[in-house]
A and B are shown apart, each in its own frame.
Chain A
Amino acid sequence: MGFEWKVALRFLKEGRGQTLFILLGIAVGVSVQVFLNTLITGLQDNLIDQTVGTSPHVWVSGRNGFQETPLEASNVIRGNFLEKDTDLGGWEVVEQVLEERKDLTAVSPVAEGSGNLVKGGLAVPVLLRGIDLEKADGIYRISGRMVSGSPSLEGNQVLVGLDLARENEIGTGDVVQVALPDGSSQSFTVSGIFDLGNGTLNGSWIFLDLGRAQRLFGLGDRISKIELQVADVFQAEAVADSVEGRLEGVLAENWIESNASLLSALQSQGSSSLLIQVFVLLAITLGISSVLAVSVVQKSKQLGILKAMGARNASASRIFLYQGALLGIGGALLGIGLGIGLIRMFLWGTAIQTGVPLFPLDPTLESMAVIGAIATVASTLAALLPAKRSSKLNPVEVIRNG
């Protein structure tokens, strides 16, 4: 340990009250940063999770020209309405390409079509979604959200949404009739009832096997779309663009386009939090700087003596830089501890009534390390000016004045 460290440490240790106050000052600032950061991140994660946690972030459908049989696949008259054909042919290739991407967490092909659930003379509009259960679980977690029955789509088994089942008094094991757009009617056995936590989906969705859906809707070997979840939800737009760039003739849409207002709210929340953090940091830095500036004056005699005994100007500077760094590290560690305490208190406080915290807060080691590192660097920088003054101090003046 160089003598500058020894002197810096001792100056801090002997200036007890002053050191304690500035440490507390940094600690409070850092704890606010840790808490605020975790709170905002938790809030955003929670909102985003609720919005897109169990729905696709990007969905890839066909665009004119991609179909293997383009003549057939132009605008097709079906029944008495015109349907723009966005079906995806040759989708296995697309799926394979997508599955190789590292930035995707789920890839699920869907063949869907509308129909009417016929029950007691009433027809309830439903969406029949043909899926590969295992792949769809990656997005919807259906298997984990079964209310009754079991997640099975073999043969003519289907899974029915909770609200749809309740309103129409459907139970597991029942057989339901569904009228299809082509006029035919199909009966299915309900193997289970799911709850996706969303009334609209629960009230209209019926899951069935992908191959079966393809046959029922006359899609042949085509499907309606491939649904994707991406690792970083905010990258959905970029992922969609890159998918379109990679695969000619597909249309990739993403959740960001359809949730613009939510996103701008999140963004402004994020930037206001950042602004607060910058000002907190500024306050810390100014605090340290002024305390150390006063300290240079207080310690000018000691510095003069050290210089007279052969300490270089650079050493005199370092004594103050090290003090800044030590205060920063100490304050940051203390502040991180305090911040975690604040988070615990928040979780405990919001859980009093319901027993469950308002939303989960999970301070990441990474964010705390970044905040701590920034505080330390800022504290060291705050010591620059005092350090410069210390370096310029003339020993003769100190000694002459006693």
Chain B
Amino acid sequence: MEHTKIERLLEKYFQGETSIAQEKELTNYFSGSDVAQHLEQYKPLFGYFSLAKEQTISREIQLKTKKSSFAWLSIAASVVVLLGVGMYVYTSSNPVDAHEKLGTYTNPDEAFKATQKALALLSNHVNTGIGSVQYIQEYDNSKDEIFTK
């Protein structure tokens, strides 16, 4: 009696015409113990459906993505690059400023005088340097006195 009903339901099932309630009825029938011999072959099918519904995800869902931390990393990296470039431009442009601040002469005479003054200053300092080297000459003299004999 029940078997014929199940057979009819199965036929409808394979035609795609059963409702959810009817499909539940089939699942219940095949999970029971008194399945007719000739319908036994459908047991694994409905058994699998119930089993497959129990599968759950084992991993925790992370809402903070790796992508967003990557974005932060790239922002940090670009800041570093900007700082680097900034520092380079800042330091390399400064000496140019320093040169400009030294000023320059427009009048050739004035420039000549200034140059002479600078060179005189230089030679003056060089002479004082040489003056202190004069002592060394004394060693040379004493050496000559000793070794000429």
Decide whether A and B are members of one complex: no
